Amino acid sequence: MVADGVRLLDVRRADEVAAGVIPGAQWIPVDELPERVGELTRDQAPMLIYCAAGMRSAAACEYLTEQGFDGLWNLAGGFSSWSGPKGKLTS
């Protein structure tokens, strides 16, 4: 989790996730999002969505907005730009 109350959603492919993940992120590949949207809650907590570079996460934000989600943020620059708590990653 980036900060209290902020959710992370990783929409990268499996081969990209194998390189590392941001701790606490939920992983749903963007291609599976329509089938798995029920795994996400529509609470009021902000959700930071990321992919490798920002294009797929932008599409995910658009799709989730259409599905009634609020408080969505796209991580500009994607996973490679992550500079959260000390740029922490796990494998």
pLDDT per 10-residue tile (average), the chain, 91 residues: 78 94 94 96 89 96 96 92 60 47
Q: Identify the pLDDT of residue 10.
A: 97
Q: What pTM, to 2 d.p., does this model score?
A: 0.86
Q: Give the pLDDT score at 59.
A: 98
Distance of CA 20 to the CA centre of its chain: 14
The question of whether 51 is a catalytic residue gets the answer yes
pLDDT value of position 1 = 43
In a domain? residue 2: no
List the catalytic residue out of 9, 51, 52, 64. Answer: 51
**Domain around 34:** 7-87
- pLDDT given for residue 3 in this prediction: 60
Domain containing 60 — which CATH number? 3.40.250.10
pLDDT of residue 71: 94
Q: Which residues pair with 21 in a beta bridge?
A: 90
Residue 21 lies in a domain: yes
Domain count, the chain: 1
